[in-house]
Chain A
Amino acid sequence: MTSITVNGKQHQIDADPNMPLLWVIRDIIGLTGTKYGCGVAQCGACVVHLNGDAVRSCVTKLSRAAGQQVITIEGLSANNDHPAQQAWNEENVPQCGYCHSGQIMSAAVLLRENPNPSDADIDSAMAGNICRCGTYLRIRKAIHLAAELQRKEGASK
């Protein structure tokens, strides 16, 4: 049994501790927002936050998450209103949408660590996430908007 906390809820997982967190989250816990894209940390579709870091859950073993805090796209915000989520909606970013859970989870770490990212900062943060539909220009635009929304939110608090 491995104990992990996903989106604030504790789960006792009866599975091979070598099972990637991706499959634990999807097949056992049943949260399917986190996607399988490559299985080898190339595409970023599976990004979740492990203690706040944007880990690739396809290569992160269940054992590494034991006793730790995991946040998935479903737990990023209560009402789809994290600044990145708002900005993604405002800028009409997704096409097929499959990669965007991972894109948004990556962007959320960038926005937390850098409230005013430049284009170069966005490149540095987001080059690990592939989008086959080619929404990159909108991702860039949305991250700039999200930073703005985040600053406004911060100012209003």
Chain B
Amino acid sequence: MSTSTISRRNFLRATGITGAALCLGFSFSADGKANVIVATDADQSAIEMNAWIKIDASGKVTLVDHRAEMGQGSYQSVPQIIAEELEVDLKDVNVIFAQGDPKKYGGQITGGSSTVRDSYKRLLKLSATAREVLIAAAAAKWKVSATDCYAQSGTVIHKPSGKKFHYGELVADASKLDAPKNIVLKKRSDYKLIGKPLHRKDTPMKTNGEAIFGLDKKLPGMLYAVVERNPRFRGKVKSFDAAATKKIPGVKHVFVVKMEVFNTIREGVAVVATSTWAAMQGRKALKVIWDDTGFEHVNIADIYTRQHEELKKEGLFFKKQGDPDGILTKAEKMLDVVYQTPYQAHSAMEPLNCIAHYQKDKIEIWGPIQAPDWVQGDISQKFKMPIDKVRVNMTFLGGGFGRKAFLDYPYEATMISKQIDGPVQVIWTREDDTTQGPYRAGISYRAQGAIANGQIMAVKFRMAGQNIDHWSDPKRGVANSSTTEGFLAPYFESIKNISFADVPFEMPIPNMWWRSVYASTNGFAYESFIDELAHEAGKDPLDFRRAYLKDERCQKLIDKLEEVSGWKSRKKNEGYGVAITECFSSTVGQIVKVSQKAGGGIIIDKVWAVMDCGWYVNPDIIHAQIEGSIIMALGAATTHEITFKDGLVEQRNFYDYKMPRITDIPPIEVHIIDNDADAGGVGEPGLPAFSPALTAAIFDLTGKRIRKLPFDMANI
């Protein structure tokens, strides 16, 4: 097999014609061709055993992370899964990021806490398959039975003789063999790596400045651009005066750039220069006159007033069982309350940025990108470039939280590159990042319910807020599952009369998923209301959940919460609150303990979180993700929100969009439930339960019910 001259694409095509030598049979591999190919980019000498595993002749193993690494740990979790069944030592493997290539990797969008739960079964299987092929190759070389051989630490060992080959000595032969059919995966109890709190492989490079984030990537001859975008989301440029800008040393180009993404079109003026600073200075000197006609200039108070008005309508029912309306109408007493949640910016520490290099026959992109496959498809379509001529490279992401799955910034960078005919890095300032959206939508909820004899008789929930799933026809007028996100399925077994609806609500504000998506706001409304119903029923809120969440996993989780938190042995002057939410196939329960702060206000003394995510890879990453999710939820509940005035965002930077700091953080104790259920998400499910547990704890302590986020802990 010639390995040096053939390109990856050609080879793929060639293997497609001639038939694969080594077929690992990825179910997602649409063309069925991604088999034994030669890597021409990452490592000239390595043979790619499958899309995730490359081994060179010296035995050096390179594993591919096909998803974005934005803090949630894919750079560790994916290799930790592969290394288990491949039988290699993690310390010896090199990890690289995949380029956008959905044919090869399946969906790469890093969202919905899906990296492990979507991939682990096939990663285990293809890794075990690769191992078995290597064992078969060794057995053939030694002319022994494969059953007498086993793999360990990147070598195949012949048990009777103790003879050894390292994988590098076998990979060429292995690539010519048929893959065995019946692969037996390890038992969970036999795992050496999976389930262990191993150190992340990306930590060392994040403590000495070596990790390359989007903003750190440089290309030869690359220029730097900043864009003065219309501060109203759908505005255009009427005219601009760049005379002063062009006098700034280093400024090379000034022109109008249009950003067209999903349902948002916005114009700005790009300033391209030889350094970031020169571009920023040039932008400051720019005078732009905006065209702000043709769309509403919104004010935050009007948004919520309108939402509350909309909540009088029935909306689109997504789920309805029993007869909640009939029972509520007849009920002696009906609870009928409104919850309100704020717009939120993602505010990743790494502001948005992207490098694009548009050339006549190809486009290359580098950046902190959550969905390289989406970007590839979008750029291909918008610039009419064949998809295989669009290469999208992921760097480390300095946080993402959903924002970096939006397609606007790579598109804008490509537009600018095309205009200047060269590579360019577009940098969003913190102010751009805060003021330009897209945001998590602020959503209002109406909850109605009736209690009789300490039991829930009926519950009716509806929401009004911008809903991404109503963006375009035909989804505009159709109910969708966002309305029940966060709400635990077992409630549907025990609450016989219940309905969920959403009232479609449009605003000219761009929206995007924000960590834990709808569960982040639904969770607050729904679990707060369960707490109100428990209070109305005169029941202990934890016991109330125990009575309504009959499912075995929920029962165990509730027992664990009670056990670790000392819920039943609480003292006077201590407020305890609980909430339990579902998010991306994992269930998290949290108990928050609060007390009065000397000098006024409320202090959080402790947070306990119990996570049931089924099968898992790395418990330390789970702990870290839950700690981080709770702190992100703390900020969204108590310190920051995005508001609008006359169509402009009122917050600009961390001085008015205030993040929790080290001085604001309560102790957090995380527990993981062990079971053999399928893997659930990890990166987001820790978020939704926090704010309802916090406000329930404040109610427990003070009798004050908080139904509107954010609120000031210093003034309760």
Interface range, B side: 35 or more
Q: Interface size of A by Cβ–Cβ distance < 8 Å? A: 59
If A89-B204, A95-B72, A98-B398 touch, does A32 touch B216 (CB 8 Å cutoff)? yes
Bound complex: CA of A20 vs CA of B429, how far in Å?
14
**Residues B275 and A98 in contact, CB atoms below 8 Å apart:** no
CB proximity of B661 to chain A, nearest CB, Å: 5
B327 in the interface (beta carbon within 8 A): no
Tell me the interface secondary structure of chain A in the complex.
Answer: loop
| Selected interface stretch from B120-128, B257-265, B608-616, B651-659 | B651-659
Whether A132 contacts B399 in the complex (CB less than 8 A), given A96-B349, A98-B213, comes out as: yes
B203 to A, closest residue via Cβ? A89
A30: chain B residues within 8 A (beta carbon): 218
| Residue of B396, B659, B665 touching A97 (CB-CB under 8 A) | B396
**Complex: how many Å from CA A36 to CA B660?**
19
Please tell me if the beta carbons of A122 and B653 are within 8 angstroms of each other in the complex: no
Cβ-Cβ contact count across A and B, 8 Å cutoff? 183
Residues on B with C-beta less than 8 A from A136 are: 631, 660-662, 665
Q: A28-B275, A38-B653 are in contact. Are A127 and B662 (CB under 8 A)?
A: yes
B199 adjacent to chain A (CB < 8 Å): yes
Q: Known: A32-B215, A38-B653, A140-B662. Is A132-B632 also a contact (CB below 8 A)?
A: yes
| B-chain residues with CB within 8 Å of residue A56 when the two chains form the complex | none
Complex interface bits, B356-398 against A, C-beta within 8 A gives 1, otherwise 0:
0000000000000000000000000000000000000000111
Query: Is the contact region of chain B dominated by helix, strand, or loop, or is it mixed?
Result: loop
A96 touches B208 (CB 8 A): no
Q: Which A residues are in CB contact (< 8 Å) with B215?
A: 32, 35-36
Residues of B within 8 A of A38 (CB): 430, 653-654
Interface residues of B in 267-296 (CB under 8 A from A): 275-277
User: Closest chain A residue to B202 by CB distance?
Assistant: A97
CA distance A135 to B207 in the complex (A): 14
Task: Name A3-30 residues within 8 Å CB distance of B.
Answer: 15-16, 19-20, 23, 26-28, 30
Q: How many angstroms from the CA of A143 to the CA of B488 in the assembled complex?
A: 39
Give the distance in Å from the alpha carbon of A84 to the alpha carbon of B667 in the complex: 22
Residues on the A chain within 8 Å of B70, using CB: 96
Sample of 6 further A-B pairs with CB below 8 A, known A36-B351, A98-B213, A132-B349: A32-B216, A92-B199, A95-B624, A97-B202, A97-B206, A139-B662
Which 6 pairs of residues, A with B, have the shortest CB-CB distance?
A: A33-B209, A134-B631, A98-B398, A97-B206, A96-B71, A95-B71
Q: Can you sample 22 A-B contacts with CB below 8 Å?
A: A15-B277, A16-B249, A16-B277, A19-B277, A33-B209, A34-B209, A35-B213, A37-B349, A38-B653, A43-B349, A80-B204, A85-B207, A92-B197, A92-B203, A93-B203, A129-B662, A130-B654, A133-B628, A134-B631, A135-B624, A138-B624, A138-B627
